[in-house]
Chains A and B, each alone.
Chain A
Amino acid sequence: MTEPTIYELSAPGRIGVRFPHPDVPLADLPKNLIREELPLPELSELDVIRHFMHLSHLNYSIDGGFYPLGSCTMKYNPKINEETARLPGFAFTHPLQPEETVQGNLALMYELQEYLKEISGFGAVTLQPAAGAQGEFTGVMIIRAYHKSRGDVKRTKMLVPDSAHGTNPATSGMTGFEVVPIPSDARGNVDIEALKAACDDSVAGLMLTNPNTLGLFEEQVVEVNRIVHQAGGLVYGDGANLNALLGIARPGDLGLDIMHINLHKTFSTPHGGGGPGSGPVAVTSELQEFLPGPVVILLEEGSEEIPPLFGFHQPEQSIGRVKAFNGHFGMVVRAYTYISMHGADGLRKISEYAVLNANYLLARLRNTYKVTFDRTCMHEFVVEGVWNDAPDVHALDISKRLMDYNFHPPTNYFPLIVREALMIEPTETESKQTLDRFADVMLKIAEEAHAQPELLQGAPHITPVGRLDEVKAAKELVLCCWLPDEVRS
């Protein structure tokens, strides 16, 4: 089943939306600048609706099924979020309106900054970064600016554990740091001796993910932070796995200096098929003047008669803007809605059940799938998707076979330190029934891998398309469709 492209569906002369006739006299058009060809398609409204309806049927989604994608926190996205973000008072405010006309927006942003400070244990928050990767960039630029402000210019190295997400080294590279990998020890923690050996006065900082990408709590986290601080470095926390820590432990209390928070993971804003995300950054009070500006502050406390007054503040030693305007405000409204519905106890329950679900699945799978670092996990865990007695089957084949049973595959081939990794994160919103069905299928696939490996190697069998030729895609590079005959003859 393939769907034609909008260009293939186009019929000359068709109109989808009509606008009013001009109600002002027409002005002269500058002929030398006017465009002659506008190669856009021509469709009716129904053509467009059916086309996208058909396309939507080709997607897997959380609303459609279980999505145990490790490190991505594919929890249910509450429908009320979509309503609140679309309230006209929010959705139709212009980003450059005078502050006195957008006190509702500013109050909401201020409150969310306060909530995130409280949840993470830090002293200040910016909501500006557009996504986790941009939050990371912001955090590392703050580390750079901090050392520079102290005249400490010899710090050129960034320590990155070997279990880290690929964005960590990429961010360090983008910001001019030399990346020094730190190995993991036999329990999956940062190797303390290796860390000590790497720490000297050329170290700018450490990028730490906790729980790490093996889904394990960094048992020596306080000691790790102490060692880096002693060497004069700062510790950056990758907040991708915050869903394990709400009301469980505050990264700021554990000694981290900076952390980004993914509103689209922990705080239920939808992933949207690859964005928009939102990556607020939290820092200790000592670092707050380095945040990208502006941040929202309380200008005047309110009283019973007078509401409080909020406004923007430009931090004095700011690293500068990382994005235009005020961050992904629509995502901020959704996250605020979600936190308001949970309160302190509700948030703790999220992490408790996320961890319960992960350990339950781990318990059901550990006798069949090898667990390289086997101890109580947090919100996710990693198994090996390969068996010595079924050498022709790989993690990818298991992933593709899961699609035949209507499950989305786990994250595969990450983290790099586990052979044929399958990284599984169930999240708290999945029921025991769903987890049991998934575990049963995983066990069945393990049997198939041994008895009928070709079933896995040829999978998926029931999806709209089969395995796609990625080499051809990269070699021939067809990145656009065109109108059948009009354009680019």
Chain B
Amino acid sequence: MFIPHTDSEREEMLKTIGAPSIESLFEGVPVKHRFPQLNLPPALSEMEVAAQLQELSQINESTRDLVCFLGAGAYNHYIPAAVDAILRRGEFYTAYTPYQPEVSQGTLQAIFEFQSLVANLTGMDVSNASHYDGATATAEAAVLAYHHFRGKRTRFIVSPAVNPQYRQVMRTYMDGYENLQVIGDGEPGDPLGAFEALTRMLDANTAMVVVQYPDFFGRVQDLSDLAAKVHAAGAILTVVINPTALALFKSPGEMGADIAVGEGQPLGIPLSYGGPYLGIFAAKKDYVRKIAGRLIGETVDQQGKRGYVLTLTAREQHIRREKATSNICTNQGLIALAATAYMSLLGKHGLRQVAELCYHKAHFLAEQINRIPGFSVDLTQPFFHEFIVKCPAPVGEINEYLLDNGILGGYDLSQDYPSLQTHMLLAVTEMNTREEIDLLCEVLKEYAND
């Protein structure tokens, strides 16, 4: 199978080593604890394991079995077949981190192109080679801000309209630092995170303000005034983005943000029950030397031929050890490659088309739902991908009804926002057909009439 040795080869090797047996190589291990008998199921052949996993996977009801209107940070988009054809190349997926650039130009150039695409999409000067996911990229932005002000500014203002899981991860990361204050998203308060409420908290001690665009509730708001106010206080504005939305809406860079982070999953990455995904991290050039994680730079070889290398590595853990600001060693290499392939395939026109389809379909569904007695949607503000529906009953009950009808309903906002009882977050992508939208409305009408 995966161990190629024949018995005679093993014996020859042991003879060269001068060891009587394989067991004898482990004499340094305390006898008492050596060779424990592991209690694991018996080994399966490839054929059996393929069948077993097929069976396990079929216990699930996936977004292929159900009509999906669930988003809240992970989105059901179409992935062109060419993306996976590229990912399946062993030259890409069985390579290591490109420490040896002469034999890693494929990975290095692909990630350099990823950086270029992300910088252009976000309107930023630079992007890194990626972080683990949107949540950790957001946390790394906070760590950057902490170090940018050398720990002297300790207030971090976070909008409650930032993805709740991202806020949790950011708090975990910030827990390692003494005396930091993370405010802005506590109850009671405005769960929708009005910018005025956030800017009132700005002071000379504020390191960073974090907002999401479109926000967790799907709303798209102009960030220019907010950016100006944050800058007037000398602080950094970090914007959590949705990459698909940026094909249609102004970029955070254009509106004055300093750092753009976000989840790259919508860019051709399967839902895969939450991972592996792709943390986007882009910034204005002032911050380039403080960005955690890998950066790929262009250079030349001894003959003057263009090539790419990992650069600014002096910031990283293997050089700076305890003085490094992050312990990160990897990026999401292969997932960044998937996003690069997706953005290259869709290009300027395709990504805009996907974004417009998401926009129009979501607005159509919102208008239809708003007409169903008992349900209401705020149609006065523009939104993208998703929107809040005020429901006549607890969201859990409605979702059960929807599931009985083969529909994966929206996200129950009361889990994170006690003041948003009976509020559901519904998501729509280009994958949702008119028939699916009509079906959801029919079932909701039935529910309302019951």
Contact = CB atoms under 8 A, between A and B. Distances in A.
A134 B132 contact: yes
**Most interface-central of A88, A174, A428 (chain B CB within 10 A):** A174
Interface in A234-260: 247-250, 253-254
B106 interface: yes
Nearest to A83: B50
A61 B90 contact: yes
Contact of A324 (B110, B117, B165, B301): B165
A478 B175 contact: no
A369 interface: no
A197 interface: no
A335 to B, nearest CB: 12
A424 B111 CA distance: 27
Contacts of B111: 273-274
B147 to A, nearest CB: 11
Interface stretch (A358-366, A386-394, A448-456): A358-366
Contact of B98 (A7, A40, A274, A414): A274
A80 B106 CA distance: 25
B121 A40 contact: yes
Interface in A46-64: 48-49, 51-53, 55-64
A468 B307 CA distance: 7
A114 B345 CA distance: 41
A190 interface: no
Given A273-B92, A474-B297, A479-B295, A356 B250 contact: no
A352 interface: yes
Interface in A107-152: 107-108, 115, 118-119, 121, 130-134, 136-137, 141, 144
A63 to B, nearest CB: 3
Say which size band chain B's interface belongs to.
35 or more
Interface string B313-344: 01011111111111111111111010011011
A470 B299 contact: yes
Contact of B40 (A343, A474, A481): A343
Interface string A338-358: 011111111111101101110
A103 interface: yes
B301 A77 contact: no
**Most interface-central of B35, B80, B89, B143 (chain A CB within 10 A):** B89
Given A93-B273, A166-B318, A104 B60 contact: yes
Contacts of B343: 40
Contacts of B126: 479-480
Interface string B83-107: 0111011111111111011111111
A35 B333 contact: no
Contact of A473 (B222, B298, B360): B298
A136 B327 CA distance: 9
Contact of A347 (B40, B92, B341): B40
B283 to A, nearest CB: 11
Interface in B345-362: 345-354, 356-357, 359-361
Interface in A273-303: 273-278, 292
B89 A465 contact: no
A467 interface: yes
B296 A479 contact: yes
Interface string A218-237: 01011000000000000000
A361 to B, nearest CB: 10
Contacts of A94: 63, 68, 70, 74, 76, 271, 273, 408
Contacts of A75: 2
A463 B103 contact: yes
Interface in B399-450: 399, 403, 408, 411, 430, 433-434, 437
A83 B57 CA distance: 12
Nearest to B222: A33
B25 A414 contact: no
A290 B84 CA distance: 38
A52 B171 CA distance: 39
Given A93-B60, A93-B271, A321-B169, A59 B106 contact: yes
B62 interface: yes
B35 to A, nearest CB: 7
A346 B345 contact: no
A154 interface: no
A360 B5 CA distance: 13
Contact of A22 (B248, B311, B349, B356): B356
A78 interface: yes
Nearest to A278: B276
Nearest to A101: B61
11 contacts: A59-B103, A130-B132, A141-B172, A273-B98, A324-B134, A468-B299, A469-B302, A470-B299, A473-B297, A476-B297, A479-B295
